[in-house]
């Protein structure tokens, strides 16, 4: 469903991604690990369509279509979702208004009918309670005053509500306490199915105990320098990145 071929991306003239190749098939969960600054978030932003990046080479196909040609909202409607590493606070935008606008915009883009208020309320309440997002949080402006962990739970709740086909999660585990990690992992696992692909960016093997990946990649200096099974994460936990970073 996702094919990234020889992707090069610059920010302000600095090459951050330097030839990424990655293919995710429906139903697969891929994890990306790698040192700080290696370009993991950059890759996730490029997938979501942030326009700070100049793509100098390569292509991204999503369900056979040229993802790079699509605007961010079109990508979302097509099924791409990014759970941000640092979800931004948006004062003045009510969480519920935001959720409803997003859900209905995507439905509209796909030619589906908009949700009516009772249905919308029902589904939000259900997903919120599954992810321990309190009704009080839903009453606040988007992410405003949320703790780090609350922001991450809110991201995954949005993912559960929007039901994307490609879930990109950027360090969703950082900032989560042990219980929240389980709650979030359960939420993510509940979304795993044969049609949905996932890209999980993390620094910690711990998350991968809960969300067991099919493939683990190591990213260093803008490239994927090693790919393997879930045992690769254990190896990294033991030995660090030194071997791979030097290899790159």
Partner 1 sequence: MTAQPQKIQTQAETSLMQQFAFLDLEPSRQAAADRLNESGLPHRRVEEWKYTDLRALLKDVPQLASAQSVVPTTAGQPLVPADFVLAVVDGIPQDLANAGANASDAAKEAVSLEIGLGDAKGFHEKPNANVDFNMALASSGYVIQVRKSAVTPIIFIDHIVSKADAITAACRHSILVESGAQAILVERFSGPEGSAYVASSGLSVIVEDGAKLTQARVVAEGDQSSHLATIGARIGTDAIYEPFVMTLGSHLVRTDVQITFDGEQSHLGIRGATLVKGKQHTDMTLDVDHASPNCTSIEQFKSVIADEAKAVFQGKIMVKQIAQKTDAKMMSQGLLLSENGEFLNKPELEIFADDVVCGHGATCGDIDEEMLFYLLSRGIPHPVAEIMMVQAFVAEAIEDTEQPEIIEAFEAILADWLASR
In what order do the strands lie in the sheet containing 29-33?
80-83, 166-170, 197-201, 29-33, 215-220, 223-228
CB of 209 to ligand ATP, least distance (A): 20
Query: Would you count residue 41 as binding Mg ion (CB under 5 A)?
Result: yes
Residue 36 interface partner, choices partner 1, ligand ATP, Mg ion, none, CB cut-off 5-8 Å depending on type: ligand ATP
CB-wise, 47 or 161, nearer to ligand ATP?
Answer: 47
- How many beta carbons lie within 10 A of that of residue 239, not counting itself? 10
DSSP letter string over 23-55?
A: EE-TT-EEEEE--TTSSHHHHHHHHHT-TT-EE
Q: Using CB under 8 A, pick the residue from 38, 85, 158, 165 that binds partner 1.
A: 158
Is position 38 an interface residue for ligand ATP (rule: CB under 6 A)?
yes
Member of 11, 68, 123, 191 binding ligand ATP (CB under 6 A): 11
Is residue 62 classed as helix, strand or coil in its secondary structure?
strand
Q: Residue 19 or 175: which CB sits closer to partner 1?
A: 175
213 binds ligand ATP (CB under 6 A): no
Using DSSP bridges, classify how beta strands 54-62 and 65-66 pair: parallel, antiparallel or unpaired: antiparallel
Q: Out of partner 1, Mg ion, ligand ATP, none, which partner does residue 14 contact, by CB within 5 to 8 A per kind?
A: ligand ATP
Ranges assigned E (strand) in the chain: 2-11, 14-24, 29-33, 54-62, 65-66, 80-83, 90-94, 141-142, 166-170, 197-201, 215-220, 223-228
Nearest by Cα to 31 from 233, 188, 182, 183? 233
Q: Is 143 near ligand ATP (CB under 6 A)? A: no
Rounded to whole angstroms, the Cα distance separating 110 from 128 reads 24
- Identify the bridge partners of residue 81 per DSSP, sorted by sequence position: 167
Nearest-angstrom CA–CA distance, 248 and 65? 31
Q: Is residue 77 part of the contact set for partner 1 (CB under 8 A)?
A: yes
Q: Which of partner 1, ligand ATP, Mg ion, none is residue 16 near (CB under 5 to 8 Å by kind)?
A: ligand ATP
Rounded-to-10 torsion of CA 158, 161, 165, 166 = 10
CB 214 within 8 A of CB 31: no
Q: Which stretch binds ligand ATP (CB under 6 A): 29-37, 61-69, 112-120, 137-145?
A: 29-37
Residue 7 beta carbon to partner 1: minimum distance, rounded to whole angstroms: 19
Residue 48 sits in the site that holds partner 1 (CB under 8 A): yes
Indicate whether 73 belongs to the interface with partner 1 (CB under 8 A). Answer: yes
The residues binding partner 1 (CB under 8 A) are 48-50, 71-73, 75-77, 81-82, 84, 87-88, 90-93, 97-98, 101-102, 105-106, 109, 141, 158, 162
Task: Please report, as ranges, the residues that interact with ligand ATP according to CB under 6 A.
Answer: 11-12, 14, 16, 34, 36-42, 52, 85
């Amino acid at each position: 469903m996702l094919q990234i071929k020889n992707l090069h991306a610059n920010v302000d003239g600095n090459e951050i991604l330097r030839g990424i190749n990655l293919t995710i098939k429906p139903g697969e969960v891929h994890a990306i690990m790698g040192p700080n600054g290696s370009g993991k978030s950059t890759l996730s932003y490029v997938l979501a369509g942030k326009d700070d990046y100049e793509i100098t080479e390569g292509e991204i196909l999503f369900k056979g279509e040229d993802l790079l040609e699509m605007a961010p909202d079109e990508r979302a409607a097509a099924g791409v979702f990014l759970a941000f590493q640092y979800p931004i606070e948006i004062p003045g935008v009510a969480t519920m208004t935001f959720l409803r606008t997003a859900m209905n915009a995507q439905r509209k883009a796909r030619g589906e009918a908009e949700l009516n208020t009772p249905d919308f309320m029902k589904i939000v309440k259900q997903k919120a309670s599954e992810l321990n997002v309190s009704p009080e949080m839903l009453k606040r402006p988007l992410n405003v005053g949320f703790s780090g962990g609350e922001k991450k739970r809110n991201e995954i709740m949005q993912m559960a509500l929007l039901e994307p086909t490609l879930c990109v999660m950027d360090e969703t585990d950082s900032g989560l306490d042990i219980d929240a990690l389980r709650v979030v992992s359960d939420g993510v696992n509940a979304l795993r199915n044969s049609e949905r692909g996932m890209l999980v960016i993390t620094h910690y093997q711990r998350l991968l105990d809960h969300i067991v990946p099919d493939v683990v990649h190591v990213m260093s200096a803008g490239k994927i320098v090693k790919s393997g099974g879930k045992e690769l994460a254990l190896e990294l936990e033991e030995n660090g990145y030194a071997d791979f970073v030097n290899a790159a």
